[in-house]
Amino acid sequence: MKTFGLALAALAALALSACYPPTTTHPVGTTVGLKSDPALIGTWKSGPDPDRKPGEFYYYHFLTNKDGILVVMVPSTGGEASDVIAADITTAQFGKFGVMNATLVPPPDSDDKEPMPHSVPILYRTDAEGRITLYLPDEDATKDAIKAGKIAGDPGKSGTDDAVITADGPALDKFIASKEGQALYTKPFAVLTKLN
């Protein structure tokens, strides 16, 4: 899970948590259409990160590729080669919000060759000023939803195991579009401002 540890470090707030973000075995959005959101393409900078020095931030480079979008996250300063993160993403739109299905790919400084088996469903919203706020599903809320039978999945064997949502595409989309699904996304972990 080192890769996810790096991702969390990059994605800021959850770095203080011992938990990892929930994943889904199917991408969110199969029933509404998985498309590359053109509004994402380009370079963005993340907002202030409480875990980094003042003035340090992450660059988010969203690049088109044959399968959707490749996002490369690079620290502005103070980072090391091992801090570079890359993920393949597909996006789906649900009215006022979108969901990115992010699959981490091995970083340049890794011996890993295979991408992670599941994707992380990241909710995003665009505000009136064009900024994008990213949210990860809350680990505990996701486990509770699984245990309550609201969505199919594996809550993990103990409090620190990762939650994996195994619902099929239609059930997953129905859940994410519902208030109960959106309630999983409680805290933003990054606010992105477009640079170019």
| Contact in structure between 62 and 68 (CB atoms under 8 Å) | no
Q: How far is the CB of 142 from another protein (least distance, A)?
A: 28
Which own/partner contact pairs does 164-169 have at CB distance under 8 Å and 24+ positions apart? 164/22, 164/23, 164/24, 164/25, 164/118, 165/22, 165/23, 165/24, 165/25, 165/121, 166/24, 166/25, 166/26, 167/24, 167/26, 168/26, 169/26, 169/27, 169/30, 169/31
* Cβ proximity to another protein, 86 vs 122, nearer residue: 86
| Closest CB to another protein among residues 61, 131 | 61
Minimum CB separation of residue 112 from another protein in Å reads 12
Closest CB to another protein among residues 1, 41: 41
Q: CB of 77: closest distance to another protein in angstroms? A: 5
Provide the binding-site residues for another protein, judged by CB under 8 A.
Answer: 41-43, 55, 59, 61, 63-65, 70, 72, 74-77, 79-84, 86, 88, 105, 108-109, 195-196
Smallest gap from Cβ 116 to another protein, in A, equals 13
Q: Kindly tell me which of 58 and 175 has the beta carbon lying closer to another protein.
A: 58
Cα distance between residue 74 and residue 81, in whole Å: 9
